[in-house]
Structure 1
Amino acid sequence: MPWLRNNPDLTNDPRYLEPRITELTEDLAEKVSLEDVKTNVGFADINKNLSQIDETMLSDTLKQQIAGTTPVNATPADEGVTTKKLANKAVSEEKTDFLAQNYFDKSAVTTGGYINTNGEFVANPYFVASDFIPCGVNEVYKNYIDGNIVCYYDANKAFLTSNLSTGGLITVPNDSRITFLRFSPDASLLEGQMLTKGTYTHSKYIPFGLWFTKSVRDIEDLKKNTTSISKWAGKVWNALGDSITEKNGTTVKNYHDYIKDKINCTVNNYGISGTGYRTPSASGGTNAFHQRLNTLNPNADLITVFGGTNDWGDVGIPFNMGSFGDTDPTTSFYGAVDYVLKNLINMYPTKTIAVFTPLPRQYAWGVPNAEGVMLEQVADAIIKVANKYSIPVLDLYRESNAYVWNLDYISYAMPDGTHPNDNGHRMLADKILAFLNSI
Structure 2
Amino acid sequence: MGQNATYAITDLIPVTPGGHFVSSFGTNSLCFYNASGQFISGSKDYSSSARTPVSVPEGAWFVQFQVTPVNRLEALMVTEGDAEQTGYIPFGGSSNALPGQGKKVLWLGDSITHSGFYIPFVLKETGLTTLANYGVPGLGIRTMSDPLTAETIASADLISVFGGTNDYGGNRPLGTLADCRVDYDEASGKSFYYDVFYVLNTYIPPVSG
Please report the TM-score for the alignment, with normalisation by the length of structure 1.
0.26
Greater relative contact order (CA < 8 Å, ≥ 6 in sequence): 2
Structure number with larger C-alpha Rg: 1
| Greater fraction of residues in strand | 2
| Greater fraction of residues in helix | 1
Please report the TM-score for the alignment, with normalisation by the length of structure 2.
0.50
